[in-house]
Amino acid sequence: MSDDILVDIEELHFNYDGRPVLQGINMKIRRGQVVAIMGGSGCGKTTLLRCIGGQLKPTGGMVRLDRHRVCNMSHTELYDLRRKMGMLFQFGALFTDISVFDNVAFPLREHTDLSEAMIRDLVLMKLEAVGLRGAHALMPGELSGGMARRVALARAVALDPMLVMYDEPFAGLDPIALGVIGQLIRKLNDALGATSIMVTHDVHESLAIVDYIYFVSQGRIVAEGTPDEIRASEDPFVHQFVHAEVDGPVHFDYPAPSVVKEFLGGSARG
């Protein structure tokens, strides 16, 4: 594993109750990159993210994060490693009964022994970075969807992590909020010198900010490349996904018996 590779995944397999979800995933994510993992719903993208973060243990293969074998780490070792990770959950997942300030302060209080005065300064700095320093006293229920996502982003980078993972960061956002979040992900990644992995369906916004894309289908990497390579790809799956086409390798109809057999017992009736 070379020094410029932060995340190295080799032949990763994962099963849910015997059902294969990941089937031999291989990925190398370089330091400083913003990488997108794309694919249809249920293809294993979020499961892959959870294996990288150590929430799930694979049934085969290996995940290395900064040379640590994540799947072999003890609970204590993994807890220490997670101080170097940030996570933005789908729809933000803010704690609804505490303020914006306390949401962003939570990882600092959980993982450090910093004084409250220092925590205050750090929280306000992170909120300033996402344009919400003036909203620090609000409760999550008082925020718009885009504002809530920005608070969640400030919380995800509160500890200046080396790796930030995003699970559908654009879900449910209007076009303006979506653009704001996309640019913040790129700018914060570069400002922190971090590496970002983003699970997303949003092709247009992702191609504008990422360095590399992996396409997952049925638990396997079926295509990969830079944004320019993906735009120019003639791979049928990539072309269908990028251009939102109905016809292609991904079928609209779920497999079923023929209509004649289902409704007419195999023969037409006059």
**Structural domain boundaries in the chain:** 5-246
pTM here is: 0.82
* Measured CA angle at 181 (ends 179, 183), to 5 deg: 70
pLDDT tens string, the chain, 270 residues long: the values are 567 899 999 999 988 887 888 888 999 999 999 999 987 777 778 888 889 888 888 889 999 998 788 888 888 888 888 888 888 887 668 888 999 999 999 999 988 899 999 999 999 999 999 889 999 999 999 998 888 988 999 999 999 999 999 988 887 778 888 888 888 899 989 988 999 999 988 777 888 899 999 988 888 888 889 988 888 877 777 777 776 665 555 555 566 777 777 777 655 454
User: Which CATH number is 5-246's, of 3.30.2310.20, 1.10.10.10, 3.40.50.300, 3.40.50.1980?
Assistant: 3.40.50.300
Residues 121, 129 contacting (CB under 8 angstroms): no
Closest CA to 199 of 171, 163, 229: 171
Chain mean position to CA 248? 26
Which residues are CB-neighbours of 229 under 8 A, at least 6 positions away? none
Opening angle at CA 204, ends 177 and 141, nearest 5: 20
